[in-house]
């Protein structure tokens, strides 16, 4: 694929969103499983990784390069929230809201990536 910071950032955002979608769907599927604890991504880990990835210009060969990608974010089993008598802490309404929010985020990033490629296609074709 195209190796450009914009494309790489959007690809990572889509990958993280897709992973979160899987985790939220797993929570919903296990809403009635006794002892199940909801899982989600660690926002702090995602934020720390994003800060490490900030692009920096190397105006001199003596400057240090940026840090490499550390992989996918940390998956955390969430223990907060009131557990029911069976030990499960999944609230279906909350998980559905999170799933909807994540879907909207994925669609927004996908639309922006599509617009980026549309602009690139326009530049390559030379049409106005």
Per-residue pLDDT tens digits for 75-105: 777 667 677 889 899 999 999 999 999 999 9
Write out 86-119 in H/E/C secondary structure. CCCCCCHHHHHHHHHHHHHHHHHHHHHHHHHHHH
pTM: 0.72
Identify whether 59 is part of a domain: no
Q: What pLDDT band is residue 117 in, cutting at 50, 70 and 90? A: very high
- Give residue 114's domain range: 5-54+70-125
* More confident call, 126 vs 61: 126
Identify whether 92 is part of a domain: yes
| CA dist., res. 128 & res. 17, Å (int) | 34
pLDDT reading at 70 higher than 70: no
Q: How far is CA 48 from CA 13, 78, 89, 106, in A?
A: 14, 19, 27, 20
Identify whether 47 is part of a domain: yes
Domain count, the chain: 1
Identify whether 64 is part of a domain: no
Write out 11-45 in H/E/C secondary structure. HHHHHHHHHHHHHHHHHHHCCCCCCCCCEEECHHH
Identify whether 61 is part of a domain: no
Q: What is the pLDDT of residue 44?
A: 60
81 sits in the region (left: phi over 0; alpha: psi -120 to 50; else beta) called left
Say if CB 76 and CB 112 are below 8 A apart.
no
Q: What is the pLDDT of residue 87?
A: 86
Q: What is the mean pLDDT of residues 48-74?
A: 62
DSSP 126: T
Specify which residues 13 forms β-bridges with: none
């Amino acid at each position: 694929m195209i190796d450009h910071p914009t494309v790489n950032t959007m690809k990572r955002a889509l990958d993280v969103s897709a992973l979160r979608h899987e985790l939220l769907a797993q929570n919903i599927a296990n809403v009635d499983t006794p002892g199940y604890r909801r899982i989600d991504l660690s926002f702090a880990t995602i934020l720390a990784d994003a800060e490490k990835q900030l692009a920096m210009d190397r105006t001199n060969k003596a400057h240090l390069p940026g840090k490499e990608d550390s992989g996918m974010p940390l998956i955390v089993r969430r223990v907060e929230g009131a557990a029911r008598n069976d030990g499960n802490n999944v609230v279906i309404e909350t998980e559905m809201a999170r799933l909807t929010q994540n879907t909207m985020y994925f669609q927004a990033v996908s639309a922006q990536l599509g617009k980026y490629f549309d602009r690139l296609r326009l530049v390559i074709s030379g049409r106005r």
